[in-house]
Amino acid sequence: MTRRLSVIALAVALGLLAAASASAATLEPIGKFEEPIYLTSDPGNPNRIFVVERKGRIELLENGVASLFANLAPVVECPPAASEECSGERGLLSIAMAPDFDQTGRFYVDYANDVDGKLHVSEMVASGDSSPLASLREVLTIPHPNQSNHNGGQLQFGPEGLLYVSTGDGGGSNDQEHNAQNLDSLLGKILRIDPRQSGLLPYTVPAGNPFPAATAPADTIWSYGLRNPYRFSFDRLTGAIAIGDVGQGAREEVDYAARGSSAGANYGWNCREGTIKGPFSDEGCAAGESGGAFTAPVFDYPHVDPEDGGAFGCAIIGGFVARDAGLPSLYGRYVYADLCAGTMRSLDFANPVSSDRSENLSIAKPVSFGEDSCGRLYAISGKGAVYRLAAGANSSTCPPSPSGTARKATFVGIRAQSRRVERNSRVLLTAFVSPCGGRRGEPVKLLRNGKHVATRRLDRACTVHFRPRISRGAGYRATIGENAASLAGYSRRLKLRIRHRARNHPRPA
């Protein structure tokens, strides 16, 4: 009897081992590229993959076939010779497709010019056979003098449809330019903007930014005190932000915050490096130490091998919270790697320190992770290979999200009969939502200067009309919440001004 039970127990154990092996993540090669550095997809078609190459090319990978989508080499200005590299950490660093990309063709690029070092966030439009480069429009240009490293370089649209931008501290060591703690500098920060033009500005400062009284462009700052937030991401299910901030000589860190709660957060550099004291060369460091003014990382790791299986390395490569239902062993866990260690790891933000583990997957010189619009994850090697994280039979299909289907991006537009109106008159504002399917009858909110003033429901054409009384100039936006099939949407800011009547003056005799 005892022997029979032992045999059954062994069979069960082997079965569990086989099941665990079958569900474990693997790296499935999808292509080879020249210095790939980032990956994303068409918001409406996850099988159209965009691979970013550091010298400026954006390749479109569709059905296993790669073709040139856009070439920014003329503005990135890295050496054209294949044997020469971009200086330091410069080059084309990431791209982000607008939520309404399928309707407008708008997408955004982040690059550090290899000649003058300036950081650029620019808009481009994909239209027919014309080159997107011809449509390039500068949205933000940030001086980055003296050093070629610590450029940040991540673009991500947040859950509310606004564009987030990461910037490094300006390079060198110890934050020698003193930017990360300086709220007059855009370096060492996460910025938040609506990248669409507003009046004379090439972008719009969203309501809710934590420093609205700051002199432009410092009013775009969302959070600060970062050394080199080279890669950050949003959890597609919860909207939480996770930042992989590259450390200096001792610690690498991961910062994490629930949706919207990181506004104004100071992550501590150069007063802190991870959970330990940093170079401490900026004013306010001592006050922060005693007053608890810094937002501590949820996880950090050393540069020296702890020899207990724990994480170590030299530069964290931040990734994504896995929401691919085809990756059961990783689902809900934050995936990351280290440039020097080359091993993929993951952790659970519910208990990040104790849950951190190796996934036993090696990547030669990992430089980035990527996520497509249905949640599949990708790993990118600076040696040229791009991989999809897969598990068994789900490796080549787009798995459903936990709700059953991949949620679509939502575009919200707003327009007025006139942008100049008589004081105390009513003006017709029309908001419209795309795509329309599944949205009819849903509530749309009208915001005036960021405050909710009215709600109407979408008609059959997915439009809604508001007639607010205008007593003074104000900015209006329309917004719609998320549902099971679609993400939340947020329109641009529509500014209305009071029309002043001309006074009648007697003509001179």
* CATH code for position 484: 2.60.40.10
Supply the pLDDT for residue 102: 86
Q: 420 lies in which domain range?
A: 411-498
Average pLDDT, integer, range 222-228: 98
Domain boundary among 396, 429, 457: 396
Strands 469-470 and 443-448, bridge-based pairing: unpaired
**Across residues 32-58, what is the average pLDDT?**
95
Q: How confident is the model at residue 9 (pLDDT cuts 50, 70, 90)?
A: very low
116 lies in some domain: yes
Q: How far apart are CA 270 and CA 278, in angstroms?
A: 5
User: Do 178 and 240 sit in the same domain of this protein?
Assistant: yes
Residue 509 lies in a domain: no
Residue 505 lies in a domain: no
pLDDT of residue 400: 47
Is 454 in the same domain as 385? no
Peptide bond into 43 cis (omega under 30): no
pLDDT digits (tens, 9 = 90+) for 298-348: 999 999 999 999 999 999 999 999 999 899 999 999 999 999 999 999 999
For residue 297, tell me if it sits in a domain: yes
* 8 A C-beta contact, residue 370 and residue 380: yes
Q: Say yes or no: 108 and 244 in one domain.
A: yes
Percent of the chain at pLDDT > 90 equals 65
Domain count within the chain: 2
pTM reported for the whole predicted model: 0.77
Q: Do residues 380 and 475 share a domain?
A: no
Domain match, 135 and 249 both: yes
What's the pLDDT at 503? 53
Residue located via tokens 């240009």: 141
Token pair, residue 70, equals 């856009």
Domain boundary among 338, 371, 396: 396
Query: Based on the domain organization, do 150 and 267 belong to the same domain?
Result: yes
| C-alpha to C-alpha distance for 87 and 21, rounded to whole angstroms | 42
Higher pLDDT, 471 or 152: 152
Residue type for position 284: G
Please give the mean pLDDT across all residues of the chain: 88
Domain of 244: which CATH number? 2.120.10.30
Query: Which band of pLDDT confidence, cut at 50, 70 and 90, is reported for residue 44?
Result: confident
My answer on whether 464 and 363 are in the same domain is no
User: Based on the number of CB atoms within 10 Å of its own CB, is 454 exposed (0-12), middle (13-18) or buried (19 or more)?
Assistant: middle
| 120 domain residue, yes or no | yes
Same-domain check for residues 383 and 425: no
